[in-house]
Structure 1
């Protein structure tokens, strides 16, 4: 009887450890466990179309993650998306004339912001705005343009 109870307790502990491991795995996959870089600095960028960019999406330079998207808002005066990027404090030498582009991982993967450095000797600081941006490429629009151009070629 005591042996049976010990086996049940061990099985219960094993199951609890499995659920905890699954919880941490789910948090890592969904980026919810990502540390907030509150001691980093925030810069903003304006885009005409952000596609399916989400809060906590990566911000990278040369393939290295340097920060995350902190917030996304719609500016009713300029009709643009205002994206706030939180850059890690270790990356404090990003030129002022940096380009911010929205890219997609793979054909249908998640979207992220890629920063391409410029040549300005001054660097981005907390509260600055990235002036040079390129909006997301929307797959549906590209397919529509391709089909429209093929239809135009066929009618000539």
Structure 2
């Protein structure tokens, strides 16, 4: 009887550990975490079209994650999306003429922001704005433009 009870407790503990592991795996895959990293500094960038960019999307430089998208808003005066980036404090040497691009990981993957540093001796600091941006390439628009160009070629 005691042996059966011990087996049931071990199986229960194994199941609980399995569910905890699945929970942390799901959090990791979905770019969520229990801890919110508030350290670092904020930068903003305006884009004409952000595609399917989401809050918590990675911000990278040379393929290395240097931060995350903290917020996405809309400027009603310029009709542009305003993206707030949270950059880790150890990456404090980003030139003021840095270019921000919205890229897609793979053909249909998630979107992220890639920063291409410029050559300015001045560095961005908390609250600064990245002036040079490139909006997301929307696959549907590209296909539409391709079909339109092919239709015009066929009409000649």
The answer for the alignment partner of 2:140 in structure 1 is 140
Gaps of 5+ in 2: none
Once the two structures are superposed, the pairs formed by residues 1-156 of structure 1 within 5 Å of their partners are 1-33=1-33, 35-156=35-156
Q: CA deviation at 1:92?
A: 0.4
How many residues get paired? 156
Does the 8 Å contact 1:96/1:118 carry over to 2? yes
Task: Mark the CA change 1:37 to 1:3 in structure 2 (over 3 Å): closer, same or farther.
Answer: closer
1:51-79 CA-partner distances (Å, limit 9, x unpaired): 00000000000000000000000111110
User: Please, what TM-score do these two structures have when normalized by structure 1?
Assistant: 0.98
How far apart, CA to CA, are the structure 1 residues paired with 2:13 and 2:127?
Answer: 49
User: Please, what TM-score do these two structures have when normalized by structure 2?
Assistant: 0.98
How far apart, CA to CA, are the structure 2 residues paired with 1:34 and 1:69?
Answer: 17
Does the 8 Å contact 1:60/1:67 carry over to 2? yes
Task: Mark the CA change 1:141 to 1:69 in structure 2 (over 3 Å): closer, same or farther.
Answer: same
- Between 12-21 and 33-42, the greater mean CA deviation after superposition: 33-42
Q: CA deviation at 1:85?
A: 0.2
SS in 1 for 2:43: strand
